[in-house]
Structure 1
Amino acid sequence: MKRLARALAGGCLTAALATAAPLASADSYPSKPVRLMVGMAPGGSNDTVARLVAAELSKSWPQPMIVENKPGANSTIATGELKRSAADGYTLMLVISSHVTNTLLYPNLTYTLKDFSPVSLIADTPFVLVANPKFGPNNPQDLIALAKTKERGIDFGTPGQGSTQHISLELLDQMAGIKMNHIPYKGGAPAQTDVIGGLIPLIFATPTQSLPFIKQNKLKALAVTSKERLPQLPDVPTLAEAGVPGYEANVWFGIIAPAGTPPQVVEYLHKEISRVVKSPDMQARLTELGLTPLDESPAQFQQLIDSEKTKWATVIQQSHIKFD
């Protein structure tokens, strides 16, 4: 019996080591399909970026990367599922800037930022401050001057309460010394539709969303929210250079894994994603979407997350935005 027990124990140990071996080395990774979750419905910018990257990796990998949409609660449902997933590199998630701000807005989340390992930044993009063509101000200075005369504030649409655009609006209010009248919508598309229709005058829109309508003169661009001007809109100033010094609010796209994912696997994933993003075809596709391709290490990605948390925590605290 003792000999049998020792044999069984040895067999269990051998099986455990065999199971753990792929986790300790990237040599055999991926040996099965890799799941890339997106916390939003299909069709949005983050879903588009995820599918572009997954398609390119699947061309060269022995196993496919499969995109799985799990929308709900501003991506927090999918993020909670990622935390509960095995830290083996086979379940990943594409996140955007709201990955950080969600942890500041929702006090009852089942996870914190420490529950995840940054893998690779893919791209970022500013917002474009766009207005209905009939809206009076044509530049940020005139907009701020008008806002200071409005007791109720100028109506400003966003994709929803606590969205990145909403928090970016709060930052603008705080830095410019004004108070816009926040109008939350259920998504960026209906908000932009109402700007084009003249029901509200202003929104922050992504370049992907707004550039076609700017070219058709259905929207007018007042400014962009990045440090540098947008190449697709070279004549449109940044908010920082046109009335709000130091203002910056970008949306970034990156891939994360559960905390504890083996460093070798994280490094392999980063190198592979970086290879794809640096390819001429992908650079062109991302640029067409109004995105700036990035090649940042996992450590640099973590530094960005840390700095974003500090920056937006102050904005959120001063604006008193909070959810249950």
Structure 2
Amino acid sequence: MVETDAFIEEAVEEIRSTIGDRNAVIALSGGVDSSVAAALAHEAIGEQLVPVYVDTGLMRKGETEQIRETFSFMERLQIVSAQERFLDALAGITDPEEKRHVIGEQFIREFEREARESDADFLVQGTIYPDRIESEGNIKSHHNVGGLPDVVDFEGIVEPVRDLYKDEVRDVARALGLEAVVAERMPFPGPGLAVRIVGEVTESKLETAREATAIVEDELEPYEPWQAFAAVLGKATGVKGDNRVHGHVVAVRSVESRDGMTARAQELDWDVLQRIQSRITGTIPNVARVLYDVTHKPPATIEYE
């Protein structure tokens, strides 16, 4: 395990010596990885840091409002509305790897645009060690590693938590005094809900994944999963009222893990699962059925794409 105080001191000094007296943008998502990277960079270079949160339209319910509230202390916080650009870029794409690369490139272009306006030469991001392992090992390309475009208009990319596992990042978050809503938050994939939708990403599927995930997180909070969410798999026939419907199939996933490299599907009581399916099918009109994923990692990955 990392010695947090020594790590923080070394990371702050590395950021400060790399960036010097120039400006940097930080890719801020609201998750613990980017939040720790942002806190370290803010400690190192202060107002030279421009935190940029890109609202891709692929985020969790209430994410933008949460970012605005949590990071209001950062003077130069920028919130970029880019939903239309991301959805246009993803139109017609069904291959998971292609999705990740499209999202990675779109992210970089958004940050480049903000960097030009802020006269920033560096990009700071919250890449962690499992991101690098999975990207380099051909398990899946993470949008901020293997999903990056070949040409990037930054003098350098700074990754202060690149050698840490998720549990170590949480230890650093606690040592930095970050709020529990950040430090203890469940992981969320960089490409967002796009990798919780099998096939093409559409507004209808996004809204279903967003609302269903909010229900799953709410219902399973007392059971303290490492990660829990809902994914949209396809369509199937169902009955609502007296009408036959052809609606979305939603898979519920809840796992226990230490660092995300391996995971076990969480054993949940039948009444808990029934309560989740009842809320999802009862409040989201276009959902026909709900499944529970019992597959561990390996052989499955935690996310669906």
TM-score, normalized by the shorter chain, greater than 0.5: no
TM-score by length of 1: 0.23
- Whose relative contact order is higher, 1 or 2, with alpha carbons under 8 Å and at least 6 apart? 1
Q: Which has the larger radius of gyration?
A: 1
TM-score by length of 2: 0.25
